[in-house]
Chain A
Amino acid sequence: MRLLNKLLVTGGLVVSTGPLCFMAAAQDYVDLEAEAAAREAAGMSAPQDPYGAQPAQAYPVTTYGVDSSAAGPAGSGAYSAAAPVAGAAAGSGGSGLGNLFLQVQQLQQEVMRLNGKVEEQAHELRQLKEQSLQRYMDLDKRLSEGGASTAPGGAATAAPAPAPAVPTADAAGSGGAEQPGEKAAYDAAYALVVGRQFDSAVQAFQQFLEDFPDGRYAPNAYYWLGELYLVVQPPALENARQAFALLVNQYPEHAKTADALYKLGKVQYMKGNREKARSYLDLVIQQYASSNPAVVKLARDFIADNNL
């Protein structure tokens, strides 16, 4: 069984190690005794080796599914260098034991592959279950609240009632026209915010923006993405900045733009950019002095509180 050992171990090289640690691990895996045995075996007359019947198949790398190009130059080196080991015993006739060994090995590979599939599907199933429970709970919550959804964070947002025919959100400004299915998708994403499922909400809004990049609610989605990136763990300040900046740049007239500018100031402060923070907040104060006193007050307070 030494050779069996050897083959498994050689397969292990490529599979269980990184590209560089490859060498390190390679040494880790080298069994010098087995090696000596392999050399002996190679030197022996071929028919005596029961495992040499189908060397190409006996070498497990191909069936491990890690393609040699992916394993990098070191990996391919191992592949080409290792092949002769199996090849050394090639040319021998087949034997019952050899075939049995091969079959066992093929079965192992197959079971491992299937095992992986089962694990992945179980994982996906678990995720789907969680998501559907989430959706049910959100729906249940909204229904029990009589269709009124509450927006956290004070600022006016799209506050959609379940399935009204007429859009009621504050998309007034410069969002595009509402597209079929858009409202439902937006509501679903927004429900995740209300349900404090921030990580899922990020995904939902990202998906929303992919599906409806020019939608009526796209500006709101950018705003929520920005907010969400600040509350997920760990906070993604740069992503938040980008989301707010996209809103400000694409929809300068939108009702949420003032809030987004204020948030940009805040994000810059959190990133440690005091000057940039100050200039965004100054911009808010300048531009919205008359139209949006609430956000102007927020900006002034922020400057005062943080000594900007």
Chain B
Amino acid sequence: MKRLLVVLFALPLALGALAARAQLTIEITEGVDNPTPIAVVPFAWQGPGVAPEDMAAVIDGDFARSGLFAPVDRADMLGRPSSEQEVFYRDWRAIDTDYLLIGRASVSEGQMRVEYELFNVLRQTRVLRGGHLGPASEARMLAHRVADDVYEHIRGIRGAFATRLLYVSVTRVPGGKDYFRLTLADSDGARPIVLLESREPILSPTWSPDGREIAYVSFESSRPAIYRQELATGRREQLTSFKGLNGSPAWSPDGNTLAMVLSKDGSPDIYLMDLASKRLTRVTTHYAIDTEPTWMPDGRSLLFTSDRGGKPQIYRYDLRSRNVERVTFEGTYNARARIAQDGRNMVVVHQQDDRFHIALHDLKTGRLYVLTSTELDESPSIAPNGSMVLYATKHSGRGILAAVSVEGGFKFRLPAREGDVREPAWSPYMTR
């Protein structure tokens, strides 16, 4: 067994490098035809000294990562207006932009105020104005909120830029034990914060529905245990440490229950833990492997992976009727389902031609669309607005995060500067 362990630990890390931290950078790899051009003018700074953050650049980055917008290069701008009086539409028509976003930021007593105005250049009208207030240290988050507002106005669905990511980064220590870091970052990969550092593996990070807490599996006590942790206070609580497997925590939509996989009674099965009383209920009892539970948005059923049909497929367990029905039929391998908030778009790891891709399964039609073209894709996680899927893959021998739009077509990578990154979890909408 020792050899098995060694191989398991070493293989995925073989090409990793020693790293102090794992900041993510963005590389857009595949675009869509003619995204909507939008000019984001650098926001006017109405405070002392220099603006703490280039908010327009943050917004530009958000738009570029959405794949639906093409931010205009600042060098092409013929003016730098910051109020409606200073806007001359011909300047913006001349550079073929459809929309123009201007704004102002100021700070007083540690609070930053951002105001913005959005103009439709073709119709020559202001179409949106608004503002956000928050701690000056959260300047980037305020910028993401402005981007969310603009995205929602133009696309008709809520933006998901003011959200955060959890991921596990692994730094290999040659000849020693590796470093595992549970990291929290903004949706653009900026401002990474290490929540937990361990020389033992950290797995399956997941979010509570209100985005205030997380749960994960840590081997820090030399065996797997499920923990929950409050983000604001760092307070954490060990929920399980049963003999055998303790894995795949998944928070119910009402926040009261945690689904998980335990093998304490034999083969791996799905259990529910009532978080108030810590009482456990066993959900599945099959001798096959039942794992990777995830909740339907209505909280009435669970999706999980099982090989009770000989090959791993997605099944649905109805909590009221206790019926189990098989969901996926296309292909010989569909695992680790995650479901969008619409309750219809499900993403899975799907095997096709001996390769593992992320695929979108439409629960209404039963149709499956393969979204990715890389080979070893895993751990899909859907943005709270259902527009993008974040997943882990390999690039140049390193574990990186990548994203693809649910419609397919638009892709970008978020490689860490150093080390391997895996198991991304996109947060729900953050309570404002």
**B-binding residues in A (CB < 8 A):** 5, 8-12, 15-35, 38-39, 64-66, 69-70, 72-74, 77-78, 81-82, 84-85, 108-109, 112-113, 115-117, 119-120, 123, 199, 233-234, 238, 271-276, 307
Across-interface contacts of B245 in A (CB, < 8 A) = 9, 28-29, 31
The verdict on B428 contacting chain A, using a C-beta distance below 8 Å, is no
Asked if A26 and B307 make an inter-chain contact with CB atoms under 8 angstroms apart, the answer reads: no
Question: Interface centre among A16, A123, A273, by most B CB within 10 Å?
Answer: A16
Question: Interface centre among A10, A116, A123, A274, by most B CB within 10 Å?
Answer: A116
Asked if B309 and A112 make an inter-chain contact with CB atoms under 8 angstroms apart, the answer reads: yes
Check A84/B3 contact, CB under 8 A, given A112-B309, A123-B329. Answer: yes
18 A–B contacts, CB within 8 A, in A order: A5-B263, A16-B292, A16-B335, A18-B376, A20-B12, A21-B349, A23-B11, A26-B8, A27-B201, A27-B224, A34-B244, A70-B354, A72-B376, A78-B8, A116-B308, A116-B309, A199-B365, A271-B32
The verdict on B65 contacting chain A, using a C-beta distance below 8 Å, is no
Check A72/B356 contact, CB under 8 A, given A77-B11, A78-B4. Answer: yes
What is the minimal beta-carbon distance from B198 to any residue of chain A, in angstroms? 12
Asked if B34 and A5 make an inter-chain contact with CB atoms under 8 angstroms apart, the answer reads: no
What is the minimal beta-carbon distance from B323 to any residue of chain A, in angstroms? 13
Cα distance A81–B1 when bound, in Å? 8
The verdict on B305 contacting chain A, using a C-beta distance below 8 Å, is yes
In the complex, which residue of chain B has the Cβ closest to the Cβ of A306? B122
Asked if A21 and B307 make an inter-chain contact with CB atoms under 8 angstroms apart, the answer reads: no
Asked if A115 and B378 make an inter-chain contact with CB atoms under 8 angstroms apart, the answer reads: no
Check A65/B310 contact, CB under 8 A, given A28-B217, A272-B34. Answer: yes
In the complex, which residue of chain A has the Cβ closest to the Cβ of B122? A307
Check A21/B309 contact, CB under 8 A, given A28-B245, A272-B35. Answer: no
Closest 7 CB pairs of A and B: A116-B309, A18-B378, A116-B310, A113-B310, A81-B7, A26-B8, A21-B378
Asked if B203 and A28 make an inter-chain contact with CB atoms under 8 angstroms apart, the answer reads: yes
Asked if A12 and B291 make an inter-chain contact with CB atoms under 8 angstroms apart, the answer reads: yes
Asked if A66 and B378 make an inter-chain contact with CB atoms under 8 angstroms apart, the answer reads: no
What is the minimal beta-carbon distance from A103 to any residue of chain B, in angstroms? 14
Across-interface contacts of A26 in B (CB, < 8 A) = 8
**A-binding residues in B (CB < 8 A):** 1-9, 11-13, 32-36, 122-123, 201, 203-204, 217, 219, 222-224, 243-245, 247-248, 261, 263, 266-268, 287-289, 291-292, 305-313, 326, 329, 332-333, 335-336, 349, 351, 354, 356, 362, 364-365, 367, 375-379, 392-394, 399, 406-407, 409, 422-423
In the complex, which residue of chain A has the Cβ closest to the Cβ of B219? A27
Across-interface contacts of B35 in A (CB, < 8 A) = 272
Asked if B379 and A18 make an inter-chain contact with CB atoms under 8 angstroms apart, the answer reads: yes
Across-interface contacts of A199 in B (CB, < 8 A) = 365, 367
Across-interface contacts of A77 in B (CB, < 8 A) = 7-8, 11
Across-interface contacts of A273 in B (CB, < 8 A) = 33-34
Asked if A20 and B8 make an inter-chain contact with CB atoms under 8 angstroms apart, the answer reads: no
What is the minimal beta-carbon distance from B268 to any residue of chain A, in angstroms? 6
Asked if A73 and B11 make an inter-chain contact with CB atoms under 8 angstroms apart, the answer reads: yes
Asked if B8 and A21 make an inter-chain contact with CB atoms under 8 angstroms apart, the answer reads: no
Among candidates B32, B268, B356, residue contacting A19 with C-beta atoms closer than 8 Å: B356
Across-interface contacts of A8 in B (CB, < 8 A) = 266-267, 287, 289
Across-interface contacts of B313 in A (CB, < 8 A) = 116
Across-interface contacts of B377 in A (CB, < 8 A) = 18, 20
Cα distance A275–B378 when bound, in Å? 39
What is the minimal beta-carbon distance from B52 to any residue of chain A, in angstroms? 35
Question: Interface centre among B1, B122, B261, by most A CB within 10 Å?
Answer: B1
Across-interface contacts of A25 in B (CB, < 8 A) = 247
What is the minimal beta-carbon distance from A298 to any residue of chain B, in angstroms? 22
Asked if B8 and A15 make an inter-chain contact with CB atoms under 8 angstroms apart, the answer reads: no
Asked if B312 and A15 make an inter-chain contact with CB atoms under 8 angstroms apart, the answer reads: yes
Asked if B333 and A12 make an inter-chain contact with CB atoms under 8 angstroms apart, the answer reads: no
Asked if B376 and A19 make an inter-chain contact with CB atoms under 8 angstroms apart, the answer reads: yes
Asked if A18 and B356 make an inter-chain contact with CB atoms under 8 angstroms apart, the answer reads: yes
Across-interface contacts of B122 in A (CB, < 8 A) = 307
Asked if B243 and A33 make an inter-chain contact with CB atoms under 8 angstroms apart, the answer reads: yes
What is the minimal beta-carbon distance from B9 to any residue of chain A, in angstroms? 7
Across-interface contacts of A11 in B (CB, < 8 A) = 289
